[in-house]
Amino acid sequence: MNFLPYLVVVGALIAIAAASRLRDPLPKYLLPLLVAVIFVCLWQVAADAARYELKDADGQFVRWVEVFPTPRSTVLGMVQPVKDGTLLRYAISSVYRVAAGFGLAAVIGIPLGLWAGWYTRGFEALNPLIQALRPISPIAWIPLAVLWFGVKDAAAIFLIALASFFPIVTGSMTAVRTIPMVYVRSAQNFGLKGFELFRRVVFPACLPQIITSLRMALGIAWMVIVAAEMIAVDSGLGYLIMDARNANYYDRVVGAMISIGLIGVALDLMMRRLERFDEVRWGFSKV
């Protein structure tokens, strides 16, 4: 039995306990790092628990059979795709598909949401349909996507656009509908109306909430990449997972999962930068 991961977990827990007693502000990355260490150790423990001894017909030990990749085998399995540039190339393809799908969803979703939010009739007409389509998993759309767009990039982009469209449209719709009436009325008192009222008051008032829905939608778009790349494309991190899975490279499956997680964090950090603009910042008390 391998005791090392248990020892490291205990060590990390002691470090966390000790750190919480310190008065000085802790280095920002200390706690997340310790938690990550604990996570990796638990992963190792789980992988050890899954492997089993193979015995021959006489009950003699033959060898260990690994069932689940360990942290170490995952790192080793990723050496090749990192070295020959496939990982980078695939990451770029996936980000491209997500950018295209998400962009499309935003371009259609924001105006539609604002319109449907502003006109009550529009809301009443559209909202039930949107709410009914929203819970359908993008995976269920795969056959239709193939039917409409074939087995090319367009089908994958469609799925991503579809998945990110609903949070954007719902978010924009709710944003308009929940603007404090006092903003609108004071603007009207200043003589603003029509498109001018919309451009100068309604839209800025909605922006913080729209940005939040965009952030959520980008997270969903990125999450859908694996499902979207199940369609016969031949690049991307989702494809890497499928392809490695078919070829029994489970270390690469886990490696690609981790890559997706890390890029997802990076995308979210970029999205959060949008919240720092003055036009948006007023909506966030904590910024």
Partner 1 sequence: MTQHSTQGTVFESQKFMEFPSMKEALIARKIDATFMNVPLAMKLVLDGVPVKLVYLGHRDGTAVVVKRDGPIQKFEDLRGKVVAIPGRFSNQNIFLHRQMKQLGMPFDSLTIKEVPPPEHPSSLAAGAIDAYIIGEPHAAKAELDGYGRVLMQMRDAWPKFISCALVVRQEVIDGNRPLVEELVRGIASSGEWLDADRTTGAQHRKDAAVVAAKMFYNQPQKLLEFVLLKDTTRVSYTQLTPIQADLDEMMELAVELKILPQRIEFEQYVDASFAPDLDSIELKLDRLPDVDKIAAQ
Q: Which is nearer to partner 1, 94 or 213 (CB)?
A: 94
Q: Which is nearer to partner 1, 66 or 275 (CB)?
A: 66
Reading the block at residue 17, the tokens are 């306990």
Where are the extended beta strands (E) located within the chain? 52-55, 61-65
Q: Which is nearer to partner 1, 134 or 245 (CB)?
A: 245
SS3 content of the chain, % helix, strand, coil (to 5): 75, 5, 20
Q: Which of 244, 37, 217, 16 shows the shortest CA–CA distance to 134?
A: 217
Least distance to partner 1, CB of residue 97, Å: 17
Least distance to partner 1, CB of residue 51, Å: 11
- DSSP at 208: H
Q: Which is nearer to partner 1, 196 or 234 (CB)?
A: 234
Q: Which is nearer to partner 1, 210 or 242 (CB)?
A: 242
Least distance to partner 1, CB of residue 66, Å: 7
Reading the block at residue 82, the tokens are 């990192």
Per DSSP, the residues of 214-238 read: HHHHHHHHHHTHHHHTTSS-S-SHH
Q: Which residues lie near partner 1 (CB under 8 A)? A: 50, 52, 54-57, 65-67, 142-143, 146-148, 150-152, 232, 234, 242, 245-248
Reading the block at residue 263, the tokens are 């890029």
Least distance to partner 1, CB of residue 60, Å: 10
Cα(182)–Cα(72) distance, integer angstroms:
59
Where are the extended beta strands (E) located within 66-199? none
Least distance to partner 1, CB of residue 250, Å: 8
220 near 230, Cβ under 8 Å? no
Q: Which is nearer to partner 1, 152 or 200 (CB)?
A: 152
Q: Which is nearer to partner 1, 173 or 233 (CB)?
A: 233
Q: Which of 116, 118, 119 shows the shortest CA–CA distance to 130?
A: 116
Least distance to partner 1, CB of residue 223, Å: 20
Cα(284)–Cα(101) distance, integer angstroms:
27
Least distance to partner 1, CB of residue 150, Å: 4
